Structure 1
Amino acid sequence: MTAAEQNNYKKLLDVILNFSSDGIFIADKNCNTIAYSETYRLYLGASKEQLKAMTIIDFYNEGWLSSVPLLEIIETKKPCSQIITYYKTGKEILATGTPVLDDNSQISYVVLSFRDISKLKEMEAELRASKKLLNQYRTELITLKSNKIFETSKIKYGLVYRSKSMNQLVELIETLARHDANVLILGETGVGKSLIAEIIHNLSERSNKGKFVKIDCSSIPENLLESELFGYKKGAFTGANVEGKVGLIELADKGTLFLDEIGEMPFNLQSKLLNVLEDKKVKRIGGTEYKPVDIRIISATNKNLEEQIRKNLFRRDLYYRLNVIPLTIPPLRERREDIIPLVKFYENFFLKKYDIKKEIPPNVYEQLLNYDWPGNVRELINIVERLLLLDPVLVLKDMEEQQETLNLPDEITGAENTKESLRDFMDRAEKYYLLETINSTRTLKECAEVLDVDISTVVRKMKKYNIRKSYK
């Protein structure tokens, strides 16, 4: 190779070394410096004279840099990468080295590239700070938005709402209160059927004349329901009160009788109730005299009464008597704009009740809005109370598990497993019904009463099916 060619190769090498924005360093197998780029020198913080006098190992030994991959590459003959710190300039560098082997697979040279990642680290720190600030702004925005939503929502007659459907419902309630027609309230468990019935009574003229009398047809055993409704004369049956008892129908005279879960009323008792509605008089069990009664009937159910009629479980004539004006309460999942106002209302309620300084984390609202609320407002009240008293993470996890369980229609139908055993089917049906009852009751005692079992049985079944709920 001529001197001119050597000079041209040197110029080419200089261009290659300084073309890259990364620092480039080339050493031989003895760690002697062969060539380097200006960027490498600036990273190191050394003068040209120092680079001529010292090898990269000398710089390492004298504490200029935290480590060097050169020795490892010479020893292993394999590429190597390390993050090193240049102490003089304070730069954090990603050093990547590659061996150059001769025909005998021996090290001839090692080429090292150095990339400054200090700015990258700074950018990562800035990005983290920006994300933190963004989350802070997002939290503040959610808080302001939720407060604004609550401030613009309506609180009327004990109802908290913002949706158009509930606004229309309240207008219908006010209309019904001015008239004396029987009302059938329809809606899922936990939507507030009992509250609506009481509001209608309280807004009506009957509130000045008589009482609002409620009876839950599903919670009273069949053999006692008749005596509760109609009352009895003294000595009417074994175990009867010696003084007799006034029935709830008599007690509601001039007022309103609310028959909750009317779909659960025994078939033989339905005809007796129908007679009261038609004749406007009632006779106690064991008695002979009829007493005139002036009552308004408001009934409620979460069942399809027309389906019950087709199955001969409910009297058609009674249905028409009760269903003069139907009133349907939409489930919470169909009026999601009411969720935040309800959450904020009951958050304030429980903060005062327990005298605590705590708020529901703003990042929880998204999950509350996306949840389907199978237990409706009753479940929401329970969840808000738990979020304030327990770890929100655990409460949200329970909600996710609940949603996964109740979102599976085949849990009860078994449509995808038609060859399962009778025991497996009964277990699935029992679990499903237990979950439904748990979601619709406030206390363990109430749950046991609805299921007509001991409290210990409910606890045992909950453990069996891994069902968790914090009852009071």
Structure 2
Amino acid sequence: MPYESVTANLWENIIASMHNGVIVVNSDNQISLMNESAQKLLSVHNEDWKGQSIKTLIPNSRMHEVLEGGESSIGEKMVISGRACMVNRTPLYENGDRVGAIAVIQDISEMDHYRNLLKQMESIIEFSTDGIYVVDREGVTMQVNTAYEEITGFRRDELIGRRMVDLMSEGYFDQSVSLLVLERKQRISIIQRIGGKKDVIVTGNPVFDEQGGLEMIVTSVRDITHLNDLRMELEKAHTFSQMQNNRYTIKSGETEQSIIFRSPQIKKVYEHIQQVAPYPTSILLYGPSGTGKEVMANLVHDLSERREKPFIKINCGAIPEQLLESELFGYEAGAFSGASRNGKIGLLELADQGTVMLDEIAELPLALQVKLLRVLQERQMRRIGGTKWRHLDIRIVAATNQDLRNQIKSGKFREDLFYRLAVVEIAIPSLAERHEDIEPLMDHYFTYFCRQYRINKQMSEETKDILIQYHWPGNVRELRNLIENMIVSVPSTMIEPVHLPPHIRDQGQFDPFTSLKERVQQFERRLIHEVIEKNSSLRKAAEQLGIDHSTLLKKMQRWEKG
């Protein structure tokens, strides 16, 4: 067979097997060749097309322009038999003469369909409220949607094209579900920490090709930070509801705890608190027992921006040392023998964004002083048995009736903690030092308890005078308790001097000729007797009085002989 014949047959076979339609016209624009793909597109099922003008089958054909002008037309879109097509037209030459033209037709209607479908899918992914993260079989980021950017704060341009291994090592994620799916070839869900500050639940879904090979991993991401916040608020609410049974914390802010004063000393304290309360500064309140340090702490909270947040008072001296750490810091489930299986939120964590009053701060054990110092320095804490550090935003108001500087010298209190607590020091004077406040406080509590117990009583002027002259070693607490006692205990509607306790009633009845030295001795004896009654040992009483234990013993022995 001649070479030319073989070549012609080869080209006919090539054209016949092409996926795209091929039509050849002669110089008269008549069809001389059409492959099967073109016949299928034009719905031609026999060979009647041969010799027909191409316009018979394709009315909008522009082949004649190629025949006349001799220039190719590449990539023109047009509709043929109702389908979108891409057409390339080229003149056909033989021995230098233009003898016809050839058109290659590509049906792009399916391509447009898939392109539109792809756009729809991209829109669905883009507008999904869940974050979508796609990586390929090599763990390289392919696609990230807007929701993922909003959830994580990461921009897609800093992620796309990056390997998950590298992103994880740079701290973007604490672990990668995509890498886990690549390893196990199955759907996996984990809780992921994004940027060290936000919790998300991520589910990695493997996508396999027709041969069963892993092609990509599509990960959905949902922000659960707000769910964790809700869970924490629920836990806090549950703990708050149980606090009435917690004998180590005291609810503050009762109606009776008002700031009542007339003295310049308390006015100065009040103005100082007004000045510092709006700031998150730590405050140390110090002064004798019963002077109203808790009331002042409550005032600090009420005048601050934290007034709508928790205010928790913790009595460091009332909690057994072995329980104090778990009460303050809480614990995780199973942290120690006897621990609740659900764990427990600590009082410090419970007060997050609020105020904590640490009463009797001098009684805090040294080991816990170190932990409290860390809370103040780093603004974070960790539950007993836990590994997770929790951010903590609390304002500390500490209170004591002891000289912490002396405690530091004796090694009972850390100096660094003292300076953290005593950024602002406020001294609360005893009631004996602010005599002007006795009468208004007395009137306030008398009115309060009469209303509280729905009792109508009065106090004689003579009784008032005796109470005003009394030295009140127990300070405001003693005055309040005495008023309540008289209102509920005295049967008559008028409270007279006879109804007063003997040590108060008799203190105003002295011999006008008694020397100053004798009066001082009487006062000293009465004061020491009251302090001894309030303390469990003579050694503690001596410490509170500020005298040596031996000195106290000598005084008591002298009084016994006298």
CA RMSD of aligned residues (A): 3.2
Give the alignment partner of residue 204 of structure 1, picking from 304, 315, 326: 304
Q: 1:294 aligns with which of 362, 372, 393?
A: 393
- Whether the aligned pair in 2 keeps the contact of 1:411 and 1:428 (CA below 8 Å) is no
Matched, 1:369 2:468: yes
For residue 324 of structure 2, give the secondary structure of its aligned residue in structure 1. Answer: helix
Matched, 1:395 2:500: yes
Q: 1:401 to 1:263 in 2, by over 3 A?
A: farther
Alpha-carbon distance in structure 2 between the residues aligned to 1:252 and 1:427: 32
* 1:177 aligns with one of 251, 267, 277: 277
Kindly provide the amino acid, as one letter, of the partner of residue 501 in structure 2.
L
1:284 equivalent to 2:383? Answer yes
Do structure 1's residue 186 and structure 2's residue 186 form an aligned pair? no
- What TM-score comes out, normalization by structure 1 length? 0.53
CA contact (8 A) 2:445 2:483 kept: yes
Is 1:349 aligned to residue 454 of structure 2?
A: no
Bigger mean CA offset, 250-259 vs 323-332: 250-259
**Deviation of the 1:402 alpha carbon:** 9.2
Aligned residue for 1:249? Answer: 348
- Structure that is richer in helix per residue: 1
Partner of 1:317: 416
410 and 366 in structure 1: CA distance in 2 versus 1, 3 angstrom threshold: closer
Task: Name structure 2 gaps, 5 residues minimum.
Answer: 1-254, 491-496, 509-520, 545-562
Q: What residue number does 2:101 align with?
A: none
User: Given residue 395 of structure 1, which amino acid in structure 2 is its aligned partner?
Assistant: L
Which 10-residue stretch deviates more, 244-253 or 310-319?
A: 244-253
TM-fit CA distance, 1:398: 3.8
Partner of 1:221: 320
Matches of 1:250 and 1:393, distance apart in 2: 51
Q: Aligned pair count? A: 270
Confirm or deny: 8 A CA contact 2:466 2:505 kept in the other structure. Answer: no
Deviation at 1:233, TM superposition (A): 0.5
Q: Secondary structure at the match of 2:501?
A: helix
Instruction: Please state how far the C-alpha of 1:356 moved relative to its aligned partner.
Output: 2.4
* 1:168 correspondence with 2:268: yes
Match of 2:457 among 358, 373, 376: 358
Alignment match, 1:127:
none
Partner amino acid for 1:206? R
1:282 Cα shift?
A: 0.1
Pairing of 1:399-438 with structure 2 (within 5 A) = 399=504, 407-408=524-525, 411=528, 430=537
Quick check: 2:466–2:504 contact (8 Å CA) kept in 1? no
| Residues 433 and 349 (structure 1), Cα distance of their counterparts in 2 relative to 1, 3 Å cut | farther
Amino acid at match of 1:293: L
| Counterpart in the other structure of 1:10 | none
Distance 1:308 1:428, change over 3 A: closer
Contact conserved, 2:313 with 2:359, CA < 8 A, in 1?
yes
Contact 1:411 1:429 in 2 (8 A): no
Deviation, structure 1 residue 427: 13
Partner of 1:145: none
Q: SS where residue 399 of structure 2 aligns?
A: strand
TM-aligned CA deviation for residue 195 of structure 1: 1.4
Cα distance, 1:333 vs structure 2: 0.5
Structure 1 pair 428–199 and aligned structure 2 pair: CA distance change class (3 A): closer
1:349-372 residue CA offsets vs partner (Å, 9 max, x unmatched): 122222223211110122212211
State the alpha-carbon separation in 2 of the partners of residues 386 and 316 from structure 1. 42
Secondary structure, aligned partner of 1:326: strand
Find the aligned partners of 2:543 and 2:296 in 1 and give their Cα distance: 22
Q: Could you say if the C-alpha distance between residues 383 and 289 of structure 1 is closer, same or farther in structure 2, counting changes exceeding 3 Å?
A: same
Q: Please give the alpha-carbon distance, in whole angstroms, between the structure 2 residues aligned to 1:380 and 1:184.
A: 24
- State how far apart, in whole Å, the 1-side matches of 2:295 and 2:270 are: 12
* 351-360 or 175-184, larger mean C-alpha shift: 351-360
Distance across 2 between alignment mates of 1:245 and 1:318: 26
The 5 Å alignment of 1:446-461 reads none
**Shift of residue 272 of structure 1?**
0.8
Match for 1:274: what amino acid? L
Give the direction of change, closer, same or farther, for the CA distance of 1:306–1:260 in structure 2 (3 Å limit). same
**1:128-171 Cα distance to aligned partner (Å, 9 max, x none):** xxxxxxxxxxxxxxxxxxxxxxxxxxx99821111111111111
TM-score (norm 2): 0.45
1:207 Cα shift?
1.9
Mapped partners of 2:401, 2:471: distance in 1 = 17
Amino acid at match of 2:444: F
Q: 1:53-78: CA deviations, max 9, x gaps?
A: xxxxxxxxxxxxxxxxxxxxxxxxxx
User: Paired residue for 1:265?
Assistant: 364
Q: Does 1:339 align with 2:438?
A: yes
* Matched AA of 2:504: M
Select the structure with the greater relative contact order (CA < 8 A; seq sep ≥ 6).
1
Distance of 1:332 and 1:174 partners within structure 2: 21
Whether contact under 8 Å (2:473, 2:527) holds in the other structure is no
Q: Which residue of 2 aligns with 1:452?
A: none
Matched, 1:275 2:374: yes
Relative to structure 1, is the Cα distance of residues 196 and 390 closer, same or farther in structure 2, using a 3 angstrom cutoff?
same
Structure 1: distance between partners of 2:541 and 2:360: 18
**Separation (CA, whole Å) in 2 of partners of 1:335 and 1:221:** 35
Q: Deviations over 1:408-451 (max 9, x none)?
A: 39958xxxxxxxxxxxx9999737968999xxxxxxxxxxxxxx
Structure 1 residues 164 and 280: CA distance shift in structure 2, 3 A: same
1:177-224 Cα distance to aligned partner (Å, 9 max, x none): 12111000011111111111111111101223x311211000000000
Q: Deviations over 1:14-65 (max 9, x none)?
A: xxxxxxxxxxxxxxxxxxxxxxxxxxxxxxxxxxxxxxxxxxxxxxxxxxxx
Going from structure 1 to structure 2, the CA distance change for 1:277 and 1:182 (only over 3 Å counts) comes to same
